Amino acid sequence: MMVTIAVIIALAMLSVALLLALVRLARGPSLPDRVVALDLMGTLAVGMITVYAMTTQQPVFLDVAIVLALISFLGTVAFARYVEKRGS
Amino acid sequence: METVLAFVIGALYAAGLYMMLRRSIVKLIIGLAILGHAANLLIFTASGLTRARSPIIPEALSRPLAPFADPLPQALILTAIVIGFGVQAFALVLIHRAVQTGGTDDLDKMKATDT
Amino acid sequence: MTSLILSTTTRFLLPLLLMFSIFLLLRGHNEPGGGFVGGLLAAAAFALHAIAYSVGATRRLLIIDPRALIGAGLLIAVASGAAPLAAGLPFMTGQWWSPEVPALGKLQIGTPLLFDTGVYLVVLGVTLTIILSLAEE
Amino acid sequence: MKILLILPPLIPLTAAALSLLSWRWRSIQRVLAVAGTAGLLGTALALLDQVWRKGIQATQVGGWPAPFGITLVADLFSAIMVVLAGLTGLAVAVYSLASMDARREEHGYYPLMHTLLMGVCGAFLTGDLFNLYVWFEVMLMASFVLLALGGERAQMEGAIKYVTLNLISSALFLAAVGMLYGAAGTLNMADLARKLSHVAESGLVTTLALLFLVAFGIKAAVFPLFFWLPASYHTPPVAVSAIFAGLLTKVGVYALIRVFTLLFVQDVGFTHTLILVVAGLTMVTGVLGAIVQNEFRRILSFHIISQIGYMIMGLGLFTLPAVAGSVFYIVHHIIVKTNLFLVSGVARRLRGSYELKRLGGLYQACPGLSILFLIPALSLAGMPPLSGFFAKLSLVRAGLEGEQYAIVAAALGVSLLTLLSMTKIWAEAFWKEETKREPKQEAAIEPEPRASWSLLLWPIATLAALTVAMGVAAEPVFTLATRAAEQLMNPADYIRAVLGEGP
Amino acid sequence: MLPAVLSGFAAALVASWLHRLERETAGWIIALLPAGLFLYFSGFIEIIAAGDTVAVSYAWVPTMGINLSFYADGLSLLFVLLISGIGTLVLIYSGGYLKGHPQLGRFYSFILIFMASMLGLVLADNAITLFVFWELTSLSSYLLIGFDHKREGARFAALQALLVTALGGLALLAGLLLLGQAGGSLELSVLLSRGELVRAHPLYTPILFLILAGAFTKSAQFPFHFWLPNAMEAPTPVSAYLHSATMVKAGVYLLARLHPILGGTDIWMYVVTGVGAATMLVGACLALRQTDLKRILAYSTVSALGILTLFLGLGTPAAIKAAVVFLLGHALYKGALFLVAGAVDHETGARDVDRLGGLRQAMPITAAAGGLAALSMAGLPPLFGFIGKEMLYEAAYGSLGAALPLTSAVVLASMIFVAVAGMTGFGPFTGKKTSTPKHPHEAVMSLWLGPMLLGLSGLLLGLLPASVGNSLLSPAIEAVSGQAGDLELTLWHGLNPTIALSAVTLAGGAGIYAGREALRRAASRLQMTSWWGPARWYSLLLDGLNVLARGQTRLLQSGYLRYYLLIIIATALGLAGPKLASLGGPPGLVSWQEVRFYEWSLAALILLAALVAIRSRSRLGAVAALGVVGYGVALVYVLFGAPDLAMTQFMVETLTVILFVLVFYHLPRFARLSSGLVRARDALVAVTAGALITTIILFSSNVQFHPKISGYFAEHSLPLAHGRNIVNVILVDFRGLDTLGEITVLAVAAVGVYALLKLRLREEKSK
Amino acid sequence: MSDIISGVLLLAGATFMLLAAVGVVRMPDLFTRMQTTTKSATLGAGSMLLAAALYFGDLGVTTRALAVISFLFLTAPVAAHMIGRAAYFVGVPLWKETIVDELRGHYDRRTHDLISNPTMPITRDGNTTESSN
Amino acid sequence: MFLWNILLTLIWAGLSGNFTFSNVAVGFGLGYVVLWMMQRVLGRSRYFAKVHQVIRFALFFLWELILANLRVAHDVVTPTHHSRPGVIAISLDAKTDVEISMLANLITLTPGTLSLDVSADRRVLYIHAMYIDNDDIDAVRRKIKSGMERRVLELLR
Ligand code: NA
Ligand code: NA
């Protein structure tokens, strides 16, 4: 019961969080700002998938969360590398 | 949700096509990418949605518990995603070379081979 | 241009990621994963290495030219599909063996898994070829 | 011998994989190029023979019963197309040995050629709609790279248009397949044919049919979707142009014929009439485009479009003789158009340019080459007794029988304009006196050893001989085309071959 | 008979080689073939005179009803003998005329191909076979007119002749096919007996017009006559053979051949007669304006072809008789005159009648030959031309309804023929000797033999008309008229009105000859006619075609990728839109309540991200937004039970973003390049397309005709394929072939990326 | 019991994540934004995964959850460091109220090498820290 | 020794035939206790000292993490910005790659501070600090050196 309610609240909060992060992504102003927003969205998505796995009793989705966590880090690093390279 | 996704897909198509209609080659390729997402989502939606239940047979069972999501469109989309990835990678390098050899990213200036 | 922090972390992450990619490949037949995702993850791991160190370092680490991986992967995939032809069965008919392995019990090994391995190699080779040659630009 | 069905895609794939592994050794790749394509041609002929003798052949990949697994099917039309792929492949492979530069050979030219053939053969043989998409992509991807290989500016510009428009087509194709699956719940074409044949919501099916029409229409380069073709076909090395010109657009035509004889026959009055209109417009716009051009390969490229119109004209008429005419036309066109491009390459090697302005004097200098040009050129224009004449004749006749006089008039008028175009090349490149070469041009002409000339000329001569043979002995080819058309027009056999007697 | 017909093609293959072997005498040797054919076919005379026909048939493309069938009756035989006979002479002549020409070998080949095609044409029984040979004559004619291919004039004339005749040829093809449909057979021998059926067929008129278009263009009938004089660019033997004696008569042959099937109707009579008369007069008048020997002859040939057409159009027994007799006479004298003109040209280097004169001393034999031919052309007894002309007058005079205008027109044309005969057969040899570019000598034997024999045969036939009358001409006339009749050819009919007309003709002709220069001057003031002539139309038409083609191509193949895209999108919309609209509104929308709130926000996320991607002024910002779209889509996959998809999508999306980043590093920044209006238009198009897609999905998501096949996969995945993850099992087993293709695509993409980055030919060259 | 704990963990995690998102919108400059996202989000995701581990109570799930948590904690700071360093290098402006910048002028523009000069830290406006204090 | 512990855990889980998280955790704990008691038999191992150190460090770190997170949270949700940020150089005692990286990463994870970069000669770590209270830069430096750096070095050396 507790979990059921918590899940709904969590999903709501995460939904809002995703949209907020998008605001930063759209606004920038600098490229690193957007990268930060994208990175955050990746983490938020990890959270969202975790919650969803709980609400649906489908732990297989956690695998998706793992892969996302692994890979979004890589994306951020690549982006950062690009930012730095372009700056020179 | 099919209805909502129908609108999302339509909007993605519109966005992708609009981007492709720009003169900038960079926007063209972003448009193409969006179009790819739209097409995949379309297959996903058109063959019917099932919430959450993945087509994986649980331990101790010999077939998945109904209702489960249709695995076939998933496999098709997976194939399409992978193909799209290859195409996207190649197209990216292609525009990179095109800009390098042509010295511009303005598609309107790339029309020497037509007439 | 390299970062000490990144390269140090990468030293830990690389084996972890590679392990996980093989894990994804092996269990893909029963749970989410498979040759494609596994191959991509392995490629991503090497890409991380290339960012942390340099493309040259990654090429040295790989020993094998990624392009050879592509050819080999394709051949494995074809061979796994063509094997049943010899038995007069249609192309890609799954052939299964269930050897008894101590401690692990009965294992199901089949040509589809071999095929998936081919996929893994191709995807790894392809993604690496693309990323490394682009990064060398 | 069901193995014959899988070998046409498999042989090129194996050759490609081996070529990739022997990346550094050009000579191995060159041997593989000829061996692979020759093997393909041999297999294809065996397959055709088998289909001819035993009827439509089908095999279930993976042993899964249709419609669940992927079915490979060869009816006569498919088998003919595979033979043509093998033929074109072999001709171009041999020609490439002498014409492809070492740098391109070192950068994957041969594996790409193999994969192109693989995709083409797969597309011809598959009995599954989504699998068709995959083969299309294999073929497209290989063609993208072949087109861009070398990285010259014109290649890049051409490739961007080619790639973009073909990707639009793929996206549309994919979407249409998805929706069709959503509605009919299957991907096997025979199964789809069976299920679509008793469907109440034919309006939706027709809408999907139109999406397929546009998607395949782009690939086939019909009016008004052909822009990618003239923008790109003249930019890559000539061997690539040749195989593109001969094979690629025909895969689109193949797909159109396949789905509009097997799947979408609910509203023939609308869809096929539409195809007929498109056919006419395609013929006319293509040939008009060619008239404007002054470059050997550009002229040929626009003519491809024009002749696509003829190929789908038979489909639009949708009668047995008409479809037979289409099949005949495709056979004729593939051989002839490939050959013309190969000739253009020789001309360019002799004179250092594809521009008619800079060509000239070939008639006097190389009478043999002149004949080798005239044969396919006149055949293209439909001059008797060459293959093109019978191709045109069968379509015109079917049009007259179907009382579609407008399309007949277009077909005949366009063939006159084709003749005009061909004589333009003839007059400028062959009859006209040799123009003074600029020093820069001189440099572009590399001296060639004798052996390389025979590698260039043998494929041309063989294809020209086929062109003559198909005219002088048109009967066997026409019988074949008619039998193929019979199978196309009576899908019941096809469905039975794939699904068995079934419900 | 088949070997006889095809022997020419075989000979063409070796002619070139023979010429290389035997430069001097090749012409004579090759001429043995037509000579042999002449003798061979002469053997048919007896059979055919007896009222029989000779026919052979081999299946060629039986599925299409095409047979290699040949059929010799009187009409064919007359043509065959002309073709092989004159062919023999022309080949001999060519050897002398083009002596030393580097491409003489090819010339022999072309002439032989032409001859064989012509034989095939006149002997063909099957309509399609006839057409095949018909086109081959056009083609060989193209190669022969353009024989002197380095001159632009020759190339132009060759193309003109080809286009005009091929245009007619295409009409002819359609006509013949329809004729076959109407008559139920493609064999002419069968059709000949089904004339009633064909004439009653609803398609009779189109059939007639189509076939006439073929015949008229080939036989240079007004207004298609212009190509013939231009074709005089060809070497003279070609002009003599093709453009006077044989090829141009193919159209006449066709009219004659099909007369029993199509003729006899009012429309036939009016059209054929009218065109023939117009051609006759126009040709004759234009002939007078020329000064070039060959052009004068060419226009007079046009006129003669008009006469033949005119009389075939009349279709009365007398008219047909006259036409056949005139045809033979004309072939003999016109061939001779052309050859003479060629000899004169060859020896003097000049062809302008004003600059030629007094050659009879230098070239006595040629002069004699020219004189004989000219007398025949002028219609003087005792030459064969006289008989022909008399019969024309008789038939014209005897025609009902229009006897007077017709007769006067024919007389006028004949008068001009007299003048032309004077200008071409007498003028160069009589009068004062003029200076010419070359010093004239008598031509070599090969050059005078042909005209001499032709001239003499005109004389011989005139003296002994019965020798050919019954055996050769009479069966020909029967074949044309479709009924038996007898032909009594005599030189002297006694004093009758036609003799009087002949006298008038001769006098008038002499007058015209005398006043030719005045006439020419007068005509040149009428330059207008040439400005308005059909040749002008030809070039206008070609120019118009070019303008149209250029405009169309500029419009369509503009080079702007975005217009291509617009057109393609518009096409898809234009096709699918109306169809969809006709289905009415989408079936009941799914209720919105079913949608969960986080699904709403996910949808919003995707849409907003797409919007950001569009609006972003920063490239990498757009890429980041694109990544969000991809992540959003992956989350959708999560929500609806597709973990494999989601996993792959996340992975691919991230890698794609990395690739974008790697590439964009080298690319220029975004610039806003389009105006607001353009952007609004594009947005409109894009949104419409999106709306279409949405509508289709709404339609199809509620439609399910049949249960899906995926139940099978769920059922058998574990027991048969040993896998629990059904998606993966589909990928590697059920539909493994897709995956094989997919990894091939990837492999190719990698090769492509590698090659594009590492292989830069242009840069390598510049190094 | 474990239900309650995982419920609490879930809510805490979600709260942290929302905070991170609010922070990334509200904070005045890139560096302060990163301050909020790197830890709040990581912590949030961590506690959610922990909640899932408790909730499912299955070894496989737990192992996976712990694996992701460790991975997140291992990589998030590295990512932040990479972005931060790049941003600083390309001159993304610091908030106007930043009181000190000892990194200024220490990057070699060409080699991207960072020079250490701990004895003479420099403030943003070029004065030594000592004098600004 | 860690491997021993794992092995014991596996044996426990295998014997009980139950691979749920709680059971495995129990197994691990039991194994640890058994091993700890057997120290005299097996000989003293650094394993136990390290484990205790790690646990202590983890608790410290978690505490820091939560505390600082709350501070940031406060800043985020209240309308005014309380932060006094700055970029600070910290001289390093940590020497090896691992030490430096770990320190830097932990600093980043602790809210309020963010490692920006390490100087090429590895002598200085530059961090972005969000709350330089009373503008006392040295206090921040001291806190990091005596807090995080000391504990990290203790743990790793
Ligand atoms: Na795609
Ligand atoms: Na559906």
The predicted-structure confidence for G82-93, as pLDDT tens digits, reads as follows 778 888 888 888
Alpha helices in E193-265 (DSSP H): 195-199, 204-218, 227-230, 236-240, 248-262
Instruction: Identify whether residues F7 and F22 lie together within a single domain.
Output: yes
Subunit contact E700:D183, Cβ cutoff 8 A: yes
In whole angstroms, what is the distance from residue E417 CA to residue E280 CA?
A: 11
C53-64 pLDDT, tens digit per residue, is 999 999 999 888
Of the candidate ranges B100-114, D262-276, E208-222, E528-542, the one whose mean pLDDT is the lowest: E528-542
User: Which of the residues A62, A63, A76 would you substitute to probe the C interface, choosing the one with the greatest number of C C-beta atoms within 10 Å?
Assistant: A63
State the fold for domain B2-53+68-112. Answer: Helix Hairpins (1.10.287)
Alpha-carbon radius of gyration of chain C: 17
What are the tens digits of pLDDT across the range E244-300? 888 899 999 999 999 999 998 999 999 999 999 999 999 998 888 888 999 999 999
F61 shares its domain with F123: no
Q: Give pLDDT tens digits for B73-90.
A: 999 999 999 999 999 999
Contact C22, C103 (CB under 8 A): no
Residue in G closest to F114 by C-alpha: G119
User: Could you please report the per-residue DSSP string of E246-298?
Assistant: STHHHHHHHHHHHHHHHTTSHHHHHHHHHHHHHHHHHHHHHHHH--BHHHHHH
- Counting Cα atoms < 13 Å in the Cβ hemisphere of E164 gives 29
Q: Ligand 2 centre from B73 Cα, in Å?
A: 11
Instruction: Report how far ligand 2's centroid is from the alpha carbon of B46 (Å).
Output: 5
Nearest to E626 by CA among E666, E659, E671: E659
Q: Do F14 and A51 lie within an 8 Å CB cutoff?
A: yes
> Any bridge partners for residue G118, and if so which?
G125
Chain F to chain G Cβ contacts (< 8 Å): 168
Contact residues for E590 (Cβ-Cβ < 8 A; gap 6+):
B1, B2, B3, E701, E702
**In this predicted model, what pLDDT tens digit does every residue of D218-236 receive, in sequence order?**
999 999 999 999 999 999 9
Q: Are residues F51 and F10 in the same domain?
A: yes
Reduced to 3 states (helix: H, G, I; strand: E, B; else coil), residue D37 is helix
Interface test with B, best of E552, E556, E561, E628 (most B CBs within 10 A): E561
Residue-wise pLDDT for F54-63, tens only, equals 888 887 888 8
Cα of E715 vs centre of ligand 2, distance in Å, is 21
CA distance D464 to D485: 25
Residues in A closer than 8 angstroms to C31, CB to CB, are 60, 63
Which residue, G3, E616, G98, is CA-closest to B31?
Answer: E616
Residue ranges of domains in chain E: 522-555
Of G38, G41, G28, nearest to G2 by C-alpha is: G28
**Pick from B47, B79, B102: which is nearest to D156 by CB?**
B102
| Residues of chain D contacting residue E756, judged by C-beta atoms under 8 Å apart | 145, 148-149, 151
3-state SS, residue E71: strand
Amino acid at F20: A
Specify the pLDDT at position D54. Answer: 95
Question: Which band of pLDDT confidence, cut at 50, 70 and 90, is reported for residue E572?
Answer: very high
Q: Which ligand is nearest to the CA of B6?
A: 2
Q: Give the containing element (helix H, strand E) for B19.
A: helix B2-20
Residue A87: the pLDDT is 64
Q: Where are the alpha helices (DSSP H) in F27-127?
A: 30-36, 42-56, 59-89
- Inform me whether the C-beta atom of residue D134 falls under 8 Å from chain C C-beta atoms: no
B with C: 3 or more CB pairs under 8 Å? yes
The region of weakest confidence among D14-18, E161-165, E490-494 is E490-494
Query: What average pLDDT does the segment E668-687 reach?
Result: 86
Residue E210 has pLDDT above 90, yes or no: yes
Q: With CA atoms as reference, report the closest residue to E278 among E200, E208, E354, E221.
A: E221
- G partners (3+ CB pairs within 8 A) are C, F
- Residue labelled with tokens 């293709």: E741
pLDDT at F132: 34
d(CA D417, CA D446): 35
Note whether C touches A: 3 CB pairs or more under 8 A.
yes
**Which residues neighbour E382 within 8 Å (Cβ) at sequence distance 6 or greater?**
E459, E462, E463, E491
Query: Nearest 10 degrees: CA dihedral of D41, D43, D48, D54?
Result: 170
Contact between A77 and C41 using a beta-carbon 8 Å cutoff: no
The per-residue pLDDT for range E299-324, each reduced to its tens digit, is 999 999 999 999 999 999 999 999 99
CA of B35 to the centre of ligand 1 (A): 8
User: Does E630 contact B37 at a Cβ distance shorter than 8 Å?
Assistant: yes
* Dist. CA D202–CA A54, nearest whole Å: 44
- Where along chain B do its domains lie? 2-53+68-112
* Chains sharing 3 or more CB pairs under 8 A with chain E: A, B, C, D
Q: Is the pLDDT confidence value at G22 over 90?
A: no
pLDDT for F127 equals: 39
DSSP state of D352: S
pLDDT digits (tens, 9 = 90+) for E332-379: 999 999 999 999 999 888 888 888 888 888 899 999 999 999 999 999
Name every residue whose Cβ is closer than 8 Å to that of residue D226 and which is 6 or more positions away in sequence.
D282, D285, D286, D305, D308
Q: What is the mean pLDDT of chain E?
A: 90
pLDDT value for A18: 94
Domain shared by F80 and F107, yes or no: no
Q: Which residues of E touch B9 (CB under 8 A)?
A: 693-694, 697
The yes-or-no verdict on residue F133 having pLDDT over 50 is no
End-to-end CA distance of chain A: 55
pLDDT tens digits along E458-468: 999 988 888 88
What dihedral do alpha carbons E477, E483, E487, E493 form, nearest 10°?
A: -100
Residue D154 has pLDDT above 60, yes or no: yes
Q: Which pLDDT belongs to residue F118?
A: 46
pLDDT computed for residue E763 by the predictor? 65
Query: Average of pLDDT values for E734-753?
Result: 95
Digit-coded pLDDT (tens) for G120-129: 888 888 888 8
* pLDDT at residue G44 greater than cutoff 80: no
pLDDT reported for residue E262: 94
Q: Which of C72, C85, C92 sits opposite D21 (nearest CB)?
A: C72
pLDDT of C105 reads 64
Q: Is C34 left (phi over 0), alpha (psi -120 to 50) or beta?
A: left
Q: Does the distance separating the beta carbons of D164 and B113 come in below 8 Å?
A: no
Q: Is the ipTM beyond the 0.95 threshold? A: no
- The structure's pTM equals 0.93
**D162 CA distance to ligand 1 centroid (A)?**
15
Instruction: Kindly give the residue spans of alpha helices, DSSP state H, lying in E559-618.
Output: 561-581, 597-615
pLDDT in tens, F83-123: 988 888 888 888 877 777 777 777 776 767 777 664 444 44
Backbone region of residue B48 per phi and psi (left: phi > 0; alpha: psi in -120 to 50; beta: other values): left
Chains linked to F by 3 or more Cβ pairs within 8 Å: A, C, G
**Whole domain around residue C125: which residue ranges?**
4-136
Structure tokens at D402: 């179907």
Q: What's the domain count of chain C?
A: 1
- pLDDT tens for chain C, 137 residues: list them: 688 899 999 988 898 899 889 989 988 888 888 999 999 999 999 999 999 999 999 999 988 889 889 999 999 999 999 998 888 898 998 888 887 776 566 677 889 999 999 999 999 999 999 999 988 87
User: What is the reported pLDDT for D246?
Assistant: 92
What is the nearest CA distance from C5 to chain D, expressed in angstroms? 38
What pLDDT score does E358 carry? Answer: 84
Q: What integer pLDDT is reported at residue D299 of this predicted model?
A: 95
Q: What is the per-residue pLDDT for D443?
A: 47
Residue of B35, B112, B113 lying closest to D171 (CB–CB) = B35
Residue E179 has pLDDT above 90, yes or no: yes
pLDDT of residue G40: 61
pLDDT at G133 over 50: yes
| Cα gap D57→D46, rounded to integer Å | 12
Kindly identify which residue of chain C lies nearest to residue B90, measuring between CA atoms.
C130
Ligand 2: distance of its center to the CA of E694 in Å?
14
The nearest alpha carbon in chain G to F2 belongs to G22
Query: pLDDT averaged over chain G?
Result: 78
Nearest CA in chain G to C11: G98
Quote the ligand 2 centre to A15 CA distance (angstroms).
29
CB contact under 8 A, E139 and D206: no
pLDDT tens, residue by residue, D78-130: 999 999 999 999 999 999 999 998 889 989 999 999 999 999 999 999 999 99
Interchain CB distance below 8 Å, E640 and B1: yes
Q: Provide, as residue numbers in chain C, all residues whose Cβ is less than 8 Å from the Cβ of G104.
A: 5
Q: For residue B85, give the ligand nearest its CA.
A: 1
> Do F86 and F109 sit in the same domain of this protein?
no
**Tokens describing residue E110:** 């072309």
| pLDDT score for D495 | 95
The CB density around residue D274, as the number of other CB atoms within 10 Å, is 16
Residue of chain A whose Cα is closest to the Cα of F27? A24
- E126 forms beta bridges with E187
3-state secondary structure of E196: helix
CB-CB under 8 Å, B53 with E641: yes
| Closest by CA position to D390, among listed D469, D281, D272 | D469
Cβ contact B36–D164 (<8 Å): no
What percent of chain B has pLDDT above 70?
99
- The answer to whether E177 and D397 are in contact (CB under 8 A) is yes
Q: Quick one: tokens of D28?
A: 């191995």
pLDDT over 80 (residue F43): yes
- Determine what percent of chain E is predicted with pLDDT higher than 70: 97
Q: Indicate whether D408 pLDDT > 70.
A: yes
On whether any CB of chain G is under 8 Å from the CB of F31, the answer is: yes
Does G2 or E204 have the greater pLDDT score?
E204
> Do residue C8 and residue G98 have CB atoms under 8 angstroms apart?
yes
Q: Does residue D371 surpass a pLDDT of 60?
A: yes
Overall residue count recorded for chain B in this entry: 115
Domain containing residue F22: 2-95
What separation in Å is there between the alpha carbon of D111 and the centre of ligand 1?
A: 23
Please report the pLDDT score of residue G18 as a whole number.
Answer: 62
Chain E nearest C-alpha distance from B18 (Å)? 5
**DSSP structure string for C62-108:** H-S-HHHHHHHHHHHHHHHHHHHHHTTPPTT---EE--EETTTEE--
DSSP class of residue E667 equals S
| Partner residue opposite E749 with nearest CB, options B37, B89, B101 | B89
Q: Is the pLDDT of residue D441 over 60?
A: no
Q: Which residue of B has its CA nearest to E701?
A: B46
Chains A and F are touching, with contact defined as 3 or more CB–CB pairs separated by less than 8 Å: yes
- CB contact at 8 A, E412 and E281: yes
